[in-house]
Amino acid sequence: MTINEDVPGIHVAVQINGVDVAEYEAPDAGDEDAPVPTVTKYIECIDNAKFTIRMGVNRAYEWGYRNHALSLQVYVDGHWVIGKLFKSPTAPDAGFFPPAEETVIRGREEINPSTNEWVLRNFKFASVTTGMTSCLPRGSTGGVQLTKPSLVDEAQQERVKADLKIASKLGIIEVKVLRGIVGGEVVSRPGNIKNNKFELSEKSLKGKAVSHGTNFERGTRLDRAPRYSDFQPLPEDRGPIAIFRLIYRSREALKREMIIPRTPPPRSPRLAALTDAERDRLARERLEQLKGTKVKREGDAPIKREHGEHYDLTQDSAPARPSKRTRLNSGEEVELIDLTDD
């Protein structure tokens, strides 16, 4: 749940299956330099999952100034979705707009143009795909006769420009908080939002970790039309008094942005079963092997070898040195001892 410490008492959260999703710090958001108190968090989204936006105002908020109300305006991917009014909990419960502390936004309220009925279109995460822009080389027609090859380049530039505008707002849920005075009931008929396939050119996404946008499901018919009231923002505020921004990305995109740690490679099942001491012993033995050293046992005496003599070090002991023998005049063969040997 996101809370703005500069404007206490107001909270915003995104939910999947009725549970608040985890929020992560956005160190490079630049909130401290924003002209309006702003708080930005990252959240993880799930492909094709429905989500809701929970937001509210409680008694910790300072309601006293001019007996005002708050309007929380919700924007998704740069599109206005809905505005909700909040009065002080101590305000008299009069008219069609009673005080409330919290509400859950499930989607966008629109009029179905074919039936002229009010419907609710639920929020749904949709993955972004990259598509190559038209890439005919200059002077090539690709089987299509063109009077000016430069028209191909102009079309590419126009698409990239349009995609850049979309990508700049994509993957962002924004709630703007305004103070104002509530008037009477008004009739409103908001326009409809068309779903997007979110196939953007690679150039428009270069350097960005955008992974998802928001689409809206087919509308579910509402029992009655929503009711709207006139709201006049306080002119001295010159805009919102607080902004909540939730940037939603896939888990892999959050890892690429270093928002959450990368998953370490799994340990070998056999190594995982060893104790720390056993792993240290194996590491030391392997290090000795790599160094080509062998621990010398106490009491082992050095062995003198003749030049050019080779021993098999895999044997338990060095082979015995061949003895020198000679034959006497009598014909008897005897062994001679070399007194110069160690």
Segment 203-216, tens digit of pLDDT:
777 777 889 999 99
Q: Which amino acid is at 301?
A: A
Task: Region of 198 please: left (phi>0), alpha (psi -120 to 50) or beta.
Answer: left
At residue 16, the 3 state secondary structure works out as: strand
User: Residue 193 has what pLDDT?
Assistant: 85
User: Residue 137 has what pLDDT?
Assistant: 39
User: Residue 139 has what pLDDT?
Assistant: 42
User: Residue 2 has what pLDDT?
Assistant: 87
Give, rounded to a whole angstrom, the gap between the first and last alpha carbons of the chain. Answer: 85
For the chain, which ranges sit under pLDDT 50?
Answer: 133-147, 297-298, 305, 311, 313, 318
User: Residue 188 has what pLDDT?
Assistant: 83
User: Residue 203 has what pLDDT?
Assistant: 79
User: Residue 133 has what pLDDT?
Assistant: 46
User: Residue 311 has what pLDDT?
Assistant: 47
- Write the CA distances from 185 to 50, 119, 162, integer angstroms: 31, 20, 38
2: nearest Cα among 17, 24, 34: 24
As given in the structure block, the two tokens for residue 71 are 């309007």
Q: How far apart are CA 243 and CA 33, in angstroms?
A: 13
